[in-house]
């Protein structure tokens, strides 16, 4: 104690914490601020739309068959079409023009009820069409010609213009019109502005085999019916299935171009 009984502070300077340093420490140890949620600021999630359904390319296989030979090719052709991803073959027959009593006398078998008849107006729904018919003196049968004759309104409006199409045929003999039956039918496609799709020689070695009798040509698949008792051979059915597959590939390219 000094004189006068008073107390004097020590001359030694006490350590102090700088104010700015203290602020720094507080800031470092402070909890991170959280974002304030504002009412109505939540992210809006759009409702999921309906699933996208891929529409298949449709190839109509339209035919007339009296004794079943052309129909056999048509069914085999559908296998080739359906075997192509994204493409579907649909079988149709054209209307019969002969009365039932005449068909009975000609020993024509009954029609397959599972294959519907087609109207001319329905052709516009197809992306591509394969027409099949037997020959009558080197030209298409009257039943198929009658069907084409019913397409007048479609021709007038050019509803089939640009639509790809092909042919397959049946003849009684080797010289009965495997080629002429197809090329005489080209006039129908031409007036409609349709695109003829022949198979050419794309079938490869099978087009050049000479070890058996078979129908078919660069125009399309074919079958020899003989007197009506001969059924399509494996070679003829193979060519028909190939034509279906080939047509499907061409139409698919055109649709997706």
Cα(154)–Cα(189) distance, rounded to whole angstroms?
12
Give DSSP secondary structure letters for 110-171: PP-TTS-B--GGGGGG-SEEEEEEEEETTEE-HHHHHHHHTTHHHHHHTTTTT-EEEEEEEE
Domain of residue 85 covers 61-254
Task: Tell me the two tokens of residue 189.
Answer: 């496609």
Q: For the chain, how many structural domains are there in total?
A: 1
Size of the chain, expressed as the number of residues it contains: 257
Cα(57)–Cα(82) distance, rounded to whole angstroms?
10
The torsion angles phi and psi of 63, rounded to 5 degrees, stand at -145, 165
> What pTM did the predictor assign?
0.80
pLDDT band at 257 (very low <50, low <70, confident <90, very high): confident
Q: How far is CA 159 from the centre of its chain?
A: 19
Q: pLDDT tens, 96-110?
A: 999 999 999 999 999
Domain containing residue 186: CATH number: 3.40.50.360
Q: Would you say residue 26 has pLDDT above 90?
A: no
Q: pLDDT tens, 35-68?
A: 555 555 556 566 666 666 678 999 999 999 999 9
Q: Residue 43 falls within a domain, yes or no? A: no
Q: Residue 95 falls within a domain, yes or no? A: yes
* H or E stretch covering 57: strand 57-63
Q: Residue 45 falls within a domain, yes or no? A: no
Q: Residue 1 falls within a domain, yes or no? A: no
Q: Among 201-210, 217-226, 240-249, which stretch is predicted with the lowest mean pLDDT? A: 201-210
Q: Would you say residue 185 has pLDDT above 90?
A: yes
Q: Residue 192 falls within a domain, yes or no? A: yes
Q: Would you say residue 131 has pLDDT above 50?
A: yes
Bridge partners (DSSP) listed for residue 61: 91, 130
Q: How far is CA 61 from the centre of its chain?
A: 13
- Identify the three-state secondary structure at position 3: helix
Cα(134)–Cα(144) distance, rounded to whole angstroms?
9
Q: Would you say residue 23 has pLDDT above 50?
A: no
Mean pLDDT of 179-204: 97
Q: Residue 113 falls within a domain, yes or no? A: yes
């Amino acid at each position: 104690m000094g004189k006068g009984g008073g107390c004097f502070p020590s001359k030694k300077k006490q350590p102090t914490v700088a104010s700015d340093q203290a602020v720094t420490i507080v800031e470092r140890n402070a909890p991170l601020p959280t974002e304030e949620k504002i009412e109505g600021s939540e992210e809006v999630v759009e409702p999921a739309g309906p699933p996208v359904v891929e529409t298949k390319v449709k190839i109509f296989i339209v035919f007339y068959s009296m004794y079943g030979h052309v129909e056999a090719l048509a069914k085999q052709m559908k296998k080739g079409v359906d075997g192509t991803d994204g493409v579907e073959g649909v079988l149709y027959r054209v209307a019969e023009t002969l009365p039932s009593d005449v068909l009975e006398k000609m020993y024509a078998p009954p029609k397959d009820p599972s294959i519907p008849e087609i109207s001319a107006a329905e052709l516009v729904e197809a992306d591509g069409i394969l027409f099949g018919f037997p020959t009558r003196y080197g030209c298409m049968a009257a039943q198929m010609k009658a069907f084409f004759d019913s397409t007048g309104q479609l021709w007038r409006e050019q509803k089939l213009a640009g639509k790809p199409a092909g042919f397959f045929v049946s003849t009684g003999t080797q010289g009965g019109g495997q080629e002429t039956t197809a090329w005489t039918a080209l006039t129908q496609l031409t007036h409609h502005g349709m695109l003829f799709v022949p198979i050419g020689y794309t079938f490869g070695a099978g087009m050049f085999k000479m070890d058996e009798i078979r129908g078919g040509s660069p125009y399309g698949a074919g079958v020899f019916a003989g007197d009506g008792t001969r059924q399509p051979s494996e070679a003829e059915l193979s060519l028909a299935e190939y034509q279906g597959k080939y047509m499907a590939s061409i139409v698919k390219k055109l649709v997706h171009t």
